[in-house]
Structure 1
Amino acid sequence: DLTALDALEALHTMVADWHGLVNVLDRKVERVFDPQERAELLRRAASVLEELLGDPAAAIRLYERAAQEDDRDPIAL
């Protein structure tokens, strides 16, 4: 249920549980059908991985997935 995942996303953000936030964003990607929305969720998770968790390699993988979801996405490219 996306409503529950939205609440979990807010909670993980509030308590700065970045690993939990990435997990929730990934779970949301699995439940969303719109490619642009999926790309946005993947970019957000990639940003957390890169900027807050210091894992640029994992971030790159998610940015690449975002580009595959929405090939018009200039940010993911």
Structure 2
Amino acid sequence: MGGEVDRSTSAQLASHIDRVRRPGDHVIFALTELSFLDSAGLQVLLAATCRAVVAFIVITAVEAVGRRIQQPT
């Protein structure tokens, strides 16, 4: 993914994820090219993980983005 994911683009992201995912797929989001992610975009990513079987992996080069979406240990 690249650019910005916000309220105005999150539906496009959700539609794309629905088109490319198959049942049983692992979910890997590479956010290294993402410059902005708001709560609407995060909601789309989290909804996709609810349908994942095992894995939810986020790859980001922006420390602040990774810090905000890490699950508490």
TM range (shorter): 0.3 to 0.5
TM-score relative to the length of structure 1: 0.37
Q: Which has the higher helix share?
A: 1
Higher relative contact order (CA 8 A, sep 6+): 2
